[in-house]
Structure 1
Amino acid sequence: MFLIFVSNLTPRVDYVFKHICTRILGLSIKFTTNLEEFLAHHGPKMSYGKRPLGGEYFVQAHDLLFVQGIEDIEVPVRSWGETIGIFPTPERGQLPFDIFAGGFYLLSRYEEYLPHVKDDLGRYPFTESLAFRHDFLQWPVVDQWAVKFGLTLQNAYPELMMPLRHFKVHSIVEAKRPYEFLQRGLVRSCIGLLGDLYKLKIGRVLQRFQVLSGRRKDPYDTFNWLLNNLKGNRSKLTLFFMLGEGYSFREDFNTKQERFRQLIKMTSDYVEVGLVLSYHWLLNQNQIKSEKQQMEELTHRPLSATFNDRQMVQLPQVYRSLVELEVASDYTMYYYNKLGFRAGTCTPFLFYDLDFEVKTPLVLQPVVGKSLALNYGKASDIEGAVMALFRTVEKVKGTFMFMFSNRDFEPSVDNKIWRYLFSEKLMLRER
C-alpha cells in the first residue's frame, strides 16, 4: 500500500491520483490528511503540497487541485527529456513538474470549458488545444509522466512492487451506413440511381441492380470479413450502429428492417456492439433513452458503449445524460480531423464534471482518431501516421484505439491500406 499525504483531500486530488497511480501504474493507494499517521508509516509514501514534511518522496503542488470553478489560468509548457511537462516546479521536489495538476488539466478537458472558437457544427477544434499549440498532441503525455513517476518511486522505494502493464489494441468500427444499396428505401434508391445515370456511372448502376437482385453482396457489408479477422488474436473490436435519425438525408435509412436488426443480433453474439447517438438529438435525454432501450432489446444485454455522431463533444451536457442512463463507456473523445491524444492519455479515464466538481462512473475511451482524418493521403503516409501512434502507445503499455468505418473495408484498391492495417498491423496474434 502506497500512502499519500495531502493537507486537503479534494475531489480533484482523488480523481487524478487514482488515474495516474492506480489506473496506469496499478498501485494500491491510500490518502491521509493526518500528519501523525503519515510520519508513523514506515512503508512507501509521498507528500503532495507546498513544502516537504521531512525526507519523504515529495511533489510540489500547483494550486489547480485545491480550488473550485473554472478560470483562464496560465499553463506553462517546458521540454522534459523525450516529452514535455506542464506546471513546472522548483527543484525541491522529486519531479520537475506537477504531473498531477497537469494530468487533471488534460483529463478533465479544462480548456474545453473555457471560451473558445467553435467550428461550423459547434465542435471544439484541435487548433484551440494546448497540445496542438505546443506540439504534443501526438504523445500520451499523462502516461509518459506516469512512467517517469513510477521509475523515480521505485528508485526511492525498491520494495514497492508495480504490476506489469500489458499493451492492448482495441479497434472500433462505425457502421452508420451498414449497406450502400440495400435498405435505402424506394425514394433514396431512385434518387441514387438517377444520380448515377446523370453522372454516367454505368458500372455503379450495374452494381446497384446486382446487389438489389441478390446476385452480388452489398459492398459495405464487410461484417463477416471483420469477424473472421478476429479469430486467433487478442485484439478487441467494438461495432457501432445507429438506430436514430441520420445527420443528412443521404445517411438516413430504415432501421426497422429485419435484415438490419438481424445484423445487429448476429454481430452482438461475437463482439461488443455500441450505439451511435444521433447528432440532432444529443441534447434530448428522452430520445437517447429510447435509442438505448431499442439497442438493448436487439442485443439482449445492457448497452455499454456509445459515441456521438459527428464527434460532437458538448461538455458536460451529453455526458451527464449518459451517466444518468448508466452507460458505461463513451468513444467520442477524439478529433474527427486530426490524430492524437485529445485528453493526453492512452488509458481509459473517468469523466470529471467540472461544473459539479464530481468524478463520475462514465469511462471515456482514448481513441486516437478515425480513418476519415487520413482518407486523402498516400497509403505509405497513412500507415506511417497510424503506426507512429501505435508504437508510442506500445512503449508505455497503453491501449491503442483507432476508429474505422465499415466502408473502409470494401474490397477496392482505395481501401487496400485500411484492410491491411486492420487485419495485419492492428491484430495482436495469440501466443
Structure 2
Amino acid sequence: MKNIILIYTEQLSPRIEYVFDFIFSEFSGLEFELTIDLEEFKNSNRPKINFSRNLILDVIQLIPDKFLFENTISETIKFEELNEIGKIFFALSRYEEYWPQEKDQHGRISGKGKVYKTPFVDSWILGFQEKLKSKYPQLEFKNREFGITMTCDVDQVWQYKHKGFKRTYGAFLRDFVKLNFKEFAKRKKIISGKEKDPFDTFEVIKKWMDSFILRNDKNVKMIFFWLMADYGAFDKNNPVSNLAFQEKIKEIAAWSESGVHPSYASNSNPEKLEVEIKRLEKILGKKIRKSRQHYIKLSFPETYQNLIQKGIQEDYSMGYADETGFRAGTCTPFYWYDVSKEEKTDLKIFPFCAMDVTMRNYMKLSIDEAIQEIQRLKSEIQKVNGNFCVLFHNSNLKEDWEGWEKVIESLFE
C-alpha cells in the first residue's frame, strides 16, 4: 500500500483523473488514488501529493488551475498563466484546437507560434520524479529508453507505373501536347521496365532497416501508411485494384508494420474511411489498427472520433505540417482525451516531430540545416529517453529530393 500515491484534491473531475493517469500510471508506472477526504489524506502514511491551494505541512504540493475542474471550453485560457499540471493537460488534450482557428487551404492550422520546441511535458515529469524520489526513496519508476520510429507515408508507390490505362494514356497525351518529349521518353522507358520508377525507393528503406538489425538497434521500428483512396484531386495513389500495388503492400508488410493513410476526401466522409480501411485489411488479411491522416488533416474532435468509430486504435498524425517540434508537448505516446465529451478514449496517439516536406517545402531548410534540426530534436528527445517519430515519403528520396536521404540517415549518427 505504501507505494500507491495518494493525491488530495478538493474536487474530482475527469480532466484531473486523466492528467494524473498519464503522469503517474502511463509515464511513471506508479499507482495512485485521488481523495477529497482531507482527514484521510493527513492520516495516511502513503506517499502523498497535495493538489490544492491549501497549505499542508511536510507534503509535496502542486497548484491546480480552475479550468481543470470545468466541463466547458473557454477561449480565455492562457497557457503561460497555467501551473504545471494545467499546462500538461492543455498540451495533451489540444485544448486550444477546439477554439476557432485560422486554417490553410487544406483545413489545417499552422504550428507557427504554437508548436512546442521541446518535449516539456516529459521534462517536467522526469524532474518531478526526482522530487518524489527524494521525498519517498522507496518509489520505483518505469524504465524509459530512447527509441526511433521510422514512418513512411506512401501516397504513390510509383510515379509512372501501374496507374491504369486512362491515367497513363492521358499523361502521354499531355506530354505530347506540351511538346515535353523528354518527359514522354522517360515515361515510356520506365513503364516498359528499362528504367526504375523514381518513387520505388523501398529497397533503400529496406537496407536502412537491415543495417539497424545488424547493429542490434532493437528500439527502431518501421511503419508504412498506405493510401487506399479512390482517385481525386489530392488522392493520386495507384489504383487499389492493381495487383502489382497489392503485391507491393504484401511484400513490404513482411518486414515492417502497416497502417492506413486515410485519404484527403475521407476527412469529411467517414464512410470513405471505412472503405479504405477494409481495402487494406483485405489485402493483408488482418485488422488494421494504425493510421496517419493524408496531408496531416487533423480536426478536433471529428477526425479522432471518426477513427475510433472505425476501429483504429493508434494514430500517428499528431504533428504540424509547417513546423517541426512537439504539437502536444511530448514525445511519449498518450491516450486521446476528447474535450467535447470530457472523457479519456482508447485511441493512443503517437506524436511525430519532423517531416521531410515540413523541413524542405515549408521551413525552406537546406539539407545541412535539416540535419541540424534533426540533431536538435534528437538531443531533446534523448534527454527524456523518449521516442523520436519521424515522417518521410518514399517519393522524396530521389530526383529533385536528391541528398535528402542524408537527413533521415543522420538520425542514426
- Asked if TM exceeds 0.5, the reply is yes
Counterpart residue number, 2:160: 181
SS in 1 for 2:335: strand
1:58 and 2:61 equivalent? yes
1:381 offset after TM fit, Å? 0.7
Counterpart residue number, 1:339: 324
In the alignment, is the contact (CA less than 8 A) between 1:247 and 1:278 conserved in 2?
A: no
Q: Distance in 1 between matches of 2:316 and 2:395?
A: 19
Counterpart residue number, 2:89: 104
| Residue from 190, 196, 201 that aligns with 1:222 | 201
1:29 offset after TM fit, Å? 2.4
Counterpart residue number, 1:254: 239
In the alignment, is the contact (CA less than 8 A) between 2:325 and 2:353 conserved in 1?
A: yes
Distance 1:386 1:197, change over 3 A: farther
In the alignment, is the contact (CA less than 8 A) between 2:234 and 2:264 conserved in 1?
A: no
Counterpart residue number, 1:92: none
In the alignment, is the contact (CA less than 8 A) between 1:16 and 1:100 conserved in 2?
A: yes
1:415 and 2:394 equivalent? no
1:312 offset after TM fit, Å? 1.1
1:16 offset after TM fit, Å? 0.9
What is the letter of the counterpart of residue 146 of structure 2? F
Query: Equivalent residues in 2 for 1:99-138 (5 A)?
Result: 99-127=84-112, 131-132=114-115, 137-138=116-117
| Residue from 150, 171, 185 that aligns with 1:192 | 171
1:356 offset after TM fit, Å? 0.8
Query: Equivalent residues in 2 for 1:146-185 (5 A)?
Result: 146-185=125-164
Query: Equivalent residues in 2 for 1:254-333 (5 A)?
Result: 254-333=239-318
Distance 1:126 1:413, change over 3 A: closer
1:362 and 2:365 equivalent? no
Distance 1:246 1:349, change over 3 A: farther
Q: Which stretches in structure 1 are left out of the alignment for 5+ residues?
A: 78-85, 88-97
| Residue from 28, 31, 41 that aligns with 1:28 | 31
SS in 1 for 2:22: helix
1:238 offset after TM fit, Å? 0.7
Counterpart residue number, 1:211: 190
| Residue from 349, 364, 387 that aligns with 2:375 | 387
In the alignment, is the contact (CA less than 8 A) between 1:3 and 1:44 conserved in 2?
A: yes
1:39 and 2:42 equivalent? yes
What is the letter of the counterpart of residue 363 of structure 1? K
* CA offsets 1:69-103 (integer angstroms, 9 cap, x no match): 101124252xxxxxxxx51xxxxxxxxxx221111
What is the letter of the counterpart of residue 33 of structure 1? I
What is the letter of the counterpart of residue 381 of structure 2? V
In the alignment, is the contact (CA less than 8 A) between 1:51 and 1:60 conserved in 2?
A: no
1:409 offset after TM fit, Å? 2.2
SS in 2 for 1:49: coil
Distance 1:206 1:153, change over 3 A: same
Point out the more displaced range, 220-229 or 171-180.
Answer: 220-229
* TM-score between both structures, scaled by the size of structure 1: 0.87
Q: Distance in 1 between matches of 2:120 and 2:232?
A: 34
SS in 1 for 2:62: strand
* TM-score between both structures, scaled by the size of structure 2: 0.90
1:244 offset after TM fit, Å? 1.2
Counterpart residue number, 1:48: 51
Q: Distance in 2 between matches of 1:36 and 1:326?
A: 44
1:116 offset after TM fit, Å? 2.1
1:211 offset after TM fit, Å? 1.8
In the alignment, is the contact (CA less than 8 A) between 2:161 and 2:197 conserved in 1?
A: yes
Sequence identity (%): 26
1:404 offset after TM fit, Å? 0.1
Q: Distance in 2 between matches of 1:154 and 1:338?
A: 36
SS in 2 for 1:126: coil
What is the letter of the counterpart of residue 114 of structure 1? W
Point out the more displaced range, 31-40 or 376-385.
Answer: 31-40
Q: Distance in 2 between matches of 1:76 and 1:413?
A: 41
Aligned-CA RMSD value: 2.2
Q: Distance in 2 between matches of 1:377 and 1:74?
A: 34
In the alignment, is the contact (CA less than 8 A) between 1:23 and 1:347 conserved in 2?
A: no
1:420 offset after TM fit, Å? 2.4
Counterpart residue number, 1:91: none
What is the letter of the counterpart of residue 323 of structure 1? I
Counterpart residue number, 1:82: none
SS in 2 for 1:172: strand
Distance 1:30 1:246, change over 3 A: farther
What is the letter of the counterpart of residue 127 of structure 2? K
Q: Distance in 1 between matches of 2:208 and 2:189?
A: 27
Runs of 4+ in structure 1 off by over 6 angstroms are none
In the alignment, is the contact (CA less than 8 A) between 2:265 and 2:272 conserved in 1?
A: no
What is the letter of the counterpart of residue 307 of structure 1? R
* CA offsets 1:238-276 (integer angstroms, 9 cap, x no match): 101111135527824311100001111121222111111
Q: Distance in 2 between matches of 1:160 and 1:57?
A: 14
Distance 1:327 1:209, change over 3 A: same
* CA offsets 1:291-315 (integer angstroms, 9 cap, x no match): 2122112112221211222211111
In the alignment, is the contact (CA less than 8 A) between 2:228 and 2:237 conserved in 1?
A: no
1:396 and 2:399 equivalent? no
What is the letter of the counterpart of residue 187 of structure 1? K
Point out the more displaced range, 13-22 or 394-403.
Answer: 13-22
